[in-house]
Amino acid sequence: MMIKKIGVVGAGQMGNGIAHVCALAGFNVALIDIKQDQLDAALTVMGHNLDRQVARQKISEREKAETLARVQPSMSLEALADCDLVIEAAVEDEQVKRKIFQQICPVLRKDALVATNTSSISVTRLAASTDRPERFMGMHFMNPVPMMQLVELIRGIATEESTFREIRELVVKLGKTPANAEDFPAFIVNRILLPMINEAIYTLYEGVGSVESIDTAMRLGANHPMGPLQLADFIGLDTCLSVMQVLYEGLADSKYRPCPLLVKYVEAGWLGRKTNRGFYDYRGPAPVPTR
Single-letter amino acid, residue 184 = F
Catalytic residue among 88, 92, 152, 166: 152
Nearest to 167, CA basis, from 85, 77, 95: 85
Q: What are residue 45's phi and psi, to 5 degrees?
A: -60, -45
Q: What is the DSSP letter of 259?
A: P
Nearest-Å Rg of the Cα atoms of the chain is 19
Q: How far apart are CA 243 and CA 100, in angstroms?
A: 20
Closest CA to 20 of 114, 121, 148, 126: 148
CA distance 87 to 240: 21
Give the separation between CA 85 and CA 170, rounded to whole angstroms.
10
Which residue among the candidates 16, 122, 190, 198 is catalytic per the annotation?
A: 190
Name the active-site residue from 92, 117, 122, 140. Answer: 140
Q: Which of 119, 122, 198, 242 is catalytic?
A: 119
DSSP assignment of 175-193, as one string?
T-EEEEE-SSTTTTHHHHH
Catalytic residue at 76? Answer: no
140 is known as an active-site residue = yes
Q: How many CB atoms lie within 10 A of CB 81?
A: 14
Contacts 24+ apart (CB under 8 A), 95-99: 97/121, 97/126, 97/129, 98/126, 98/129
- Residue 60 appears among annotated catalytic residues: no
Is 119 tagged catalytic? yes
C-alpha angle 178-179-180 in degrees, rounded to nearest 5: 120
Handedness of CA 204, 208, 213, 214 (dihedral sign): negative
Strands 136-141 and 150-155: antiparallel
By annotation, the residues acting in catalysis are: 119, 140, 152, 190
